[in-house]
Amino acid sequence: MVDTAGLISYANRRWYDAGYEQRQLVGCPLSDLVSPIRRPVLMEALNSTLSGHPVDNLDLQILRGDGRVGQFSVNLSPMRDEQGIVTSIVVVMTDITDSAMLQSKLIHAEKMAAVGQLVSGVAHEVNNPLTAILGFADLLMENADVPEAARKDLRVILQEAQRTKQIVQNLLSFARQMPPQRKPVQLNGILRRTIQLRAYDFNSHGVEIVEHLDESLPPVVGDSHQLQQVFLNIMNNAYDAVRETGRPARIEIMTASLGTYVEVSFRDNGTGIGQPDRIFDPFFTTKEVGKGTGLGLSICYGIVREHGGEILCHNNTGAQGATFIVRLPSVSESASIGVAAGVVQR
């Protein structure tokens, strides 16, 4: 309940369950509970209600007792005395934080689907001129009349055109919508394609990527697109972490065979992990609002578990930054694909 001056005169038990004490609420302006950016909207709604016009379904960010911000749907209704004069306002606030987050994630998913279609179309358009560049460069290389100095330049053209074509193929592969598949895959190849996708950003921002990939690594059974999503998400998080420090940025990626498992580790010299025990929780994020959904690592956790593996993280001992580790069961010729992928027959 709020009086005509906008001061709280009564608050029900739910407020105290949310961490507030009575002295923090009664007699205080209602606007103090609203995030500063939305206070003008609340004041406009209060004035409208004081004029006798109720306000329904007002979206406001409300400060909880523990300092967190929640999304609330707010209804304001005028209370009148016997003469019909508005003497107070009933304010009912419904916590819609979870549903608002879910809606935001659905919108983001739809946006990413549209981006995938856009990437696919652009990639096919780029492939056409690339094919011509590669074809005519090959023809020129076979021409005996072309001097050796020009051949040197042609080799550079061919090399860079081939690299561009591979990047386009990686983009197409990552954006393509297809059902999960389980077949033997080589993690080193997936890692190299993933690194290539981010190579420009890494190079342009001075982030050093160090690869220690075991070339004798046995295959694992899995979906290459899903595993690429896992590796890309971990690399993106490491990229964000190392750029926040202001010191020379470095990410080390290593693969190794450990008995019946293959291990992939991502070690960075970034800011480290503030809450390692919550890092894989859905919607948990340490990034600013609008810069992280809190879903990436929880999705990675689910993908790795579906592959019969595990994903771990820890802050580096005696050094800066953190390390993420992905372990997946390796495939031996005698092992069944279903067991290696963690698929249980029911």
- The C-alpha torsion from 48 through 43 and 72 to 22, rounded to 10°, is -110
Looking at residue 174, its pLDDT comes to 60
What pLDDT was estimated at residue 111? 67
Instruction: Going residue by residue through the chain, which has 346 residues, state the pLDDT in tens, using 9 for 90 and above.
Output: 999 999 999 988 888 877 788 778 889 999 988 988 889 999 999 999 999 999 998 888 888 777 778 889 999 999 999 888 999 999 999 988 888 777 776 776 666 667 667 777 777 788 888 888 988 988 898 888 888 888 888 888 988 888 788 777 766 666 655 566 788 999 999 999 889 888 888 888 889 999 999 999 999 999 888 898 889 889 988 888 888 777 888 999 999 999 899 999 999 998 888 765 656 654 445 554 334 434 467 778 878 888 899 988 888 888 888 999 999 999 864 344 444 444 433 3
pLDDT at site 279: 64
| CATH 3.30.565.10 is held by the domain 178-346 | yes
**Token representation of residue 149:** 């100095």
Question: Token pair 């004798």 is at which residue?
Answer: 216
Where are the strands (E) in the chain, listed by range?
2-3, 55-63, 69-80, 86-95, 183-185, 207-212, 220-222, 249-258, 261-268, 310-315, 322-329
5: which 2 tokens? 């001056």
Q: What is the pLDDT of residue 283?
A: 45
Pairing of the two strands 69-80 and 322-329: unpaired
Side-chain half-sphere exposure of 44, counting CA atoms within 13 A: 7
| Amino acid at residue number 39 | R
DSSP 68: -
* CATH topology assigned to domain 97-177: Helix Hairpins (1.10.287)
CATH code 3.30.450.20 region(s) in the chain? 2-95
Report DSSP state, residue 265.
E
Cβ within 8 Å of residue 35, ≥6 positions away: 60, 61, 62, 63, 69
What confidence score (pLDDT) does residue 85 get?
A: 92
**Helices 224-243, 148-175: inter-axial angle, 10-degree rounding:** 100
pLDDT confidence of residue 190 = 93
Residues of the chain with CATH 3.30.565.10: 178-346
Overall pTM surpassing 0.75 (yes/no): no
DSSP sequence for 152-163: HHHHHHHHHHHH
Looking at residue 342, its pLDDT comes to: 42
Check residue 249 and give left, alpha or beta (phi > 0: left; psi -120 to 50: alpha). beta
C-alpha span between 185 and 262 (Å, rounded): 12
From the number of C-beta atoms within 10 Å of its C-beta (0-12, 13-18, 19+), residue 39 rates as middle
3-state SS assignment for residue 334: coil
Q: Do the beta carbons of residue 320 and residue 341 sit within 8 Å? A: no
Delimiting residues of CATH 1.10.287.130 domain(s) in the chain: 97-177
* 258 touches 245 (CB < 8 A): no
Phi-psi sector, 86: left (phi>0), alpha (psi -120 to 50), beta:
beta
Q: How is residue 6 written in tokens?
A: 């906008």
> How far from chain centre, in Å, is Cα 81?
53
CATH code matching the domain that covers 2-95, chosen among 3.40.50.720, 3.40.228.10, 3.30.450.20, 3.40.50.300: 3.30.450.20
Using alpha carbons, list the distances in angstroms from residue 135 to 80, 130, 157, 158, 165. Answer: 82, 8, 11, 9, 13
